Structure formats: structure tokens, C-alpha cells
Amino acid sequence: MLIKDIMTHDVIAIGPEIPIVDAVTMMKLRNIQHFPIMDESGQLVGIVSERDLLIVSSEHETAPQNIELKDPVNKIMTRSVKTCNSLEPIEEVAKRLLKQNIGSMPVIDNNKLVGIVTAKDFLKAVEKISGGKLETTRIEVEVENQPGALAKLLNFLAERNVNVNAVMTSWSDNDVVCFVLRIVCKQPNSLLESLQRADFHILWPNTELLKMPTTA
């Protein structure tokens, strides 16, 4: 999945001379958290976040001194803007967001602003990639980190007519890997027992809990 698949395409940008108070009003009306700042030539010159704007209008100790709501946003905007392009893999951009501790990145293609991607967009992508909206059963299986481990697991499921709708990977160390799968299975409890008999290590659901009687 690429940035173009998850970004917001209809970006709302503002000019550097817009008063802070007007930017606050626009942000509330549009229900957005970040404004790219564009100059008259259409070049990206900064970015301002909801947090930046709200701090100015508060009495918080971190509020910048000698800044008033009537002042232009260029007095509080971040000038060194981190950007990405629309054809980058989402995981690479997500790593940069985490490393740089920022909540969004304008998307620039051929020196033109074509979108913006935020932390919320990445959460939506995780839901989509993981098959979270599908009517499926979620299982986690831990296997040794070696060639053919995933193929062995998928073949085991295919032989039992189990359809796999999504696969994700979670690492705990270099020796083992956990596969998180969304599957379509009529009898998941029976399948889990079969996996255990075949020496697959089930992390989720907890098979011991499944054996416990339920209470009314």
C-alpha cells in the first residue's frame, strides 16, 4: 500500500499572512488538524497544527511570548517541513513520522502539493490491511523464523478449506515470528485444536480460556 492510497487528496492550505484567529476558526469549521502553508507562488513554506493554534489562544506555560491571535500564522508555523511523495510505501513514511515525532506530512509530487497524510490515515490503513472490517476470525500463530514457515502454515489451513483474508506479521525476537491472520472458518475451535496437534504455537485466542465454561 502506498501513500496515494491513504492520503487526503483535497488538501486545504492557507497563506502565511492569514491571522491566527482566522486559522483557528477555519480549523474548527473544517474539522482538520493541520494546515500546510503556501506562498503566492504555490510553494510549501510551512505547516501549522491544531496544537500550535490552540496553544497561542491559551494561557499555557508553553504558549509563545508576544504572539497575539491577530498576528499572521507565519509567526508560529513550522518552517522546516517534513514531506513525502505519493508513491512511497506507507510503512517507510510511518517510520519517519514516529522517528521525527510529528503528526502529519504534506505529500509533494513534482514540487506540487497533492495531499496530506496524518496519523489517523495510518490507523485507517492498519484496519484495512488487517481485515478488521471483515466478518472473520482472528488468530495469532507463532512459528520459527525460517524459510517456508509461513507457507507451511498457509498450506495447513488450505488443506482444511480455510480461507485466509489477511496476514500481518509481529516480531518478538529474531528466532520466532508471529503471524496474525484473519480467516473464514466454520469451526474455529476445532481448527485451533488441529493447529496445536500439528505443533503450531497459538498465541490468540487463548485456547485454555476457550475450554472454560461460560457463566450466565
Paired sense of beta strands 176-184 and 163-171, if any: antiparallel
> Mean pLDDT across the stretch 88-103?
96
Residue range 130-211, CATH number? 3.30.70.260
> Mean pLDDT across the stretch 135-155?
94
Domain locations in the chain?
A: 3-126, 130-211
Q: Report the run of H or E that residue 108 belongs to, with start and end.
A: strand 104-109
> Mean pLDDT across the stretch 26-40?
95
**Which residue did the predictor score with more confidence, 211 or 125?**
125
CA distances from 22 to 11, 19, 30, 155 (A): 17, 5, 12, 59
Q: Per CATH, the architecture of 3-126 is what? A: Roll (3.10)
Each residue of 186-211: b (16+ CB within 10 Å) or e? Answer: eebeebbebbeeeebebeeeeeeeee
Beta carbons of 60 and 67 less than 8 angstroms apart: no
- Which of 170, 37, 193 is CA-nearest to residue 113? 37
Q: How far apart are CA 65 and CA 56, in angstroms?
A: 9
pLDDT of residue 130: 87
Q: Report the run of H or E that residue 21 belongs to, with start and end.
A: helix 20-30
pLDDT for residue 132 is more than 80: no
pLDDT of residue 172: 72
Task: Say yes or no: do domains 3-126 and 130-211 share a fold.
Answer: no
